[in-house]
Amino acid sequence: MQKIQMKTPLVEMDGDEMTRILWQQIKDELILPFVDLKTEYYDLGLVEREKTKDAVTMEAALANKKYGVAVKCATITPNKQRVEEYNLSEMWKSPNGTIRAVLDGTVFRAPILIDSIKPAVRNWKKPITIARHAYGDVYKATEYRIPGEGKAELLFTAKDGTEMRQTIYDFECAGVLQGQYNKDSSIRSFAHSCFKYAIATKQDLWFSTKDTISKQYDQTFKLIFEEIYQNEYKDEFEKLGIEYFYTLIDDAVARVIRSEGGFIWACKNYDGDVMSDMVSTAFGSLAMMTSVLVSPDGNYEYEAAHGTVTRHYYRYLKGEETSTNPMATIFAWTGALRKRGELDELPDLVAFADKLEAACIQTLNDGIMTKDLAGLVEDKSAVTPVNSMGFLKAIRERM
């Protein structure tokens, strides 16, 4: 069989632990036999990040900007325990944070649905994609514990020295205090990414904040979205028959639960963090959640939403059999290959991505699945639980 050819390399970002093992297996079993794979390889595994003083992460992020499409394996975000475990010279930053800062993107997360696993919300029939603004707010906040009586003020000093000052609260007792910010430039990027993604996937776009309470902060998000929509995307939306609408987050939550799914829900950073966990759990499993970072100038980074599955890795190291679900990591590969195929006008590569996804779904519909999913299916008689390799082999047969 002649292998499918590529033009531009994918930026390949390898990672850590169980997902690093799966990464190689997915390539060997499902991609390399069919595609003459061209990648520019960056090893973001913690060992290599330590060796290069994390320079490799920045190089990978810049390569993503240069070539446009990357596929990333899950990576360890070091904490104190990891610093000891890997003998790190520094607590290196989250690679995802570094990549997001370079691409200035929005994270879109969508579940993979199969017939045998019913969403916890009965009327959900199509995936709900969460678009999370990945910058600022509580994630970049400055905060104190206030020890006791005293006055808290909000002060802004402009470049020319003029001041804006307001009392936040006259504390009569101990308490807490927090300052948050965001930037118009980042909110604009967020809006552009959302509108572009809605057009690319032909889905309605919902956006929600709490602008009735946050009359400057959240209101700014609402106004920027509205302005950009009216000026730049309205015609295209109308042509495609898709809709943009803004609503209060309370109202959005109620509508989401009553909906059939099949739309994008854009959320501020914190809302997106929380809601994406709720939505993925309600759809079935974190192991079935895909994730793509989209930058406003059209760069893409595909990954799984879950982490490196540490608990399984330590079992694997002891030689025990593991049943880690590779679906989200396979879909990171297919997402990236499809996008590369679209950009380079390679219909065979696009078709390959479609076929590989179809083979995965077919395998699951045949009842062959990893243990995390097997536990979620009601009719257990129709299920054959397998380990990761058994699952990959079953997909390969169907390919």
- Residue keyed to tokens 């032909």: 202
Size of the site for Mg ion (CB under 5 A): 2
Q: How far apart are CA 168 and CA 94, in angstroms?
A: 33
Nearest CA to 383 out of 373, 393, 394 is that of 373
Tell me if 273 contacts Mg ion by CB under 5 A.
Answer: yes
Choose which of 4, 76, 99, 332 interacts with ligand NAP (CB under 6 A): 76
- Out of ligand NAP, Mg ion, none, what residue 77 binds, judged by CB under 5 to 8 A for its kind, is ligand NAP
User: According to CB under 6 A, which residues from 298 to 357 bind ligand NAP?
Assistant: 303, 306-311, 324-325
Q: Which residue is nearest to Mg ion (CB)?
A: 273
Q: Tally the C-alpha atoms within 13 A of residue 305's C-alpha that lie toward its C-beta.
A: 24
Q: In the complex with Mg ion, which residue's Cβ is closer, 50 or 273?
A: 273
The single-letter code of the amino acid at 220 is T
Going by C-alpha positions, the residue among 366, 345, 207 that lies closest to residue 272 is: 207
Q: Which does 307 bind (CB under 5 to 8 A by kind): ligand NAP, Mg ion, none?
A: ligand NAP
Binding residue for ligand NAP (CB under 6 A) from 39, 57, 64, 96? Answer: 96
Residue carrying the six token digits 């905060």: 143
Beta carbons of 260 and 123 less than 8 angstroms apart = yes
CB of 274 to ligand NAP, least distance (A): 15
Question: Quick one: what does residue 60 bind among ligand NAP, Mg ion, none, with the CB cut-off 5 to 8 Å set by partner type?
Answer: none
Answer positive or negative: Cα dihedral of 67, 69, 74, 77.
positive
Applying CB under 6 A, does 287 fall inside the site for ligand NAP? Answer: yes
Q: Which does 273 bind (CB under 5 to 8 A by kind): ligand NAP, Mg ion, none?
A: Mg ion
Tokens 């002649």 belong to residue: 2
Comparison of 107 and 337: residue with beta carbon closer to ligand NAP: 107
390 binds ligand NAP (CB under 6 A): no
For ligand NAP, the closer CB: 31 or 73:
73
Please answer whether residues 106 and 131 qualify as being in contact, where contact means their C-beta atoms are separated by less than 8 angstroms.
yes
Q: Note whether 5 and 37 are within 8 A (CB).
A: no
Tokens of 208: 């929600």
User: Of 269 and 324, which CB lies nearer to ligand NAP in the complex structure?
Assistant: 324
Residue 321 C-beta: closest distance to ligand NAP, Å: 13
Q: Strands 384-385 and 368-369, how do they pair?
A: parallel
The backbone torsions φ and ψ at residue 96, rounded to the nearest 5 degrees and listed phi first, read -60, -35
Compute the least distance from the CB of residue 293 to Mg ion, in Å.
15
Binding site for ligand NAP (CB under 6 A): 74-77, 96, 286-287, 303, 306-311, 324-325, 372
Binding site for Mg ion (CB under 5 A): 273, 277
